[in-house]
Amino acid sequence: MRKVLALCFIVFIWFSVVPVASAVNETLVPCQNSPAFRERMKNAPDTYYFEGPFKTYASELLCGDDGLPHLPLDRPSRFIDVVIPFAIFFYFAGFVGWSGRAYLQATKKFPNPEQQEIFINLPLAMQSLLQGLLWPLLAIKEFLSGELTIKDDKQIPVSPR
């Protein structure tokens, strides 16, 4: 009974004391309405390289108190502006890492793996690069089969101390 009362008390405190958070971005204003941005725009040189970007910023972006454009992620259209480059970077970084990992694992099967790391075996490297293109699927497959992780702590090499 004490646990139930304690749980009810915690739930009551949780929902009654915590103020409601507002997700509306009130600190940023459209750049065309920002006095600091208009001042920066007025002081910028009258060249093609400043005029075009400033007009675009004024019509599309939000500015802070400093007059500099910011990219808030509170709108789905702005969220996509960040997700697509992040996804491309994440895929490319995974491709490079998985290709290198596949090459190093394949060179362990040779009689002298250190030599294969110094003098790159091009057919094997190309095979590893092609394998790296499918790295998300291969990573999921290896994770589900248990090949990606080591279950025994004794297999993890530790440097001498």
Q: Which residues belong to CATH 1.10.8.110 in the chain?
A: 76-147
Mean pLDDT taken over the chain? 85
Model confidence pLDDT, tens digit, residues 32-72: 899 999 998 888 888 878 888 888 888 888 888 888 888 77
Please determine, for residue 129, whether its predicted confidence score (pLDDT) is greater than 80.
yes
On whether the 76-147 domain is CATH 1.10.8.110, my answer is: yes
pLDDT at position 142: 92
At 69, phi and psi to the nearest 5? -70, 140
- Burial of 103 (C-beta count, 10 Å sphere; 0-12/13-18/19+): buried
Q: Which of 13-27, 99-113, 137-151 has the lowest mean pLDDT?
A: 13-27
Written as six digits, the tokens of 85 are: 């480059």
- Is the model more confident about 26 or about 40? 40
- Is the model more confident about 135 or about 45? 135
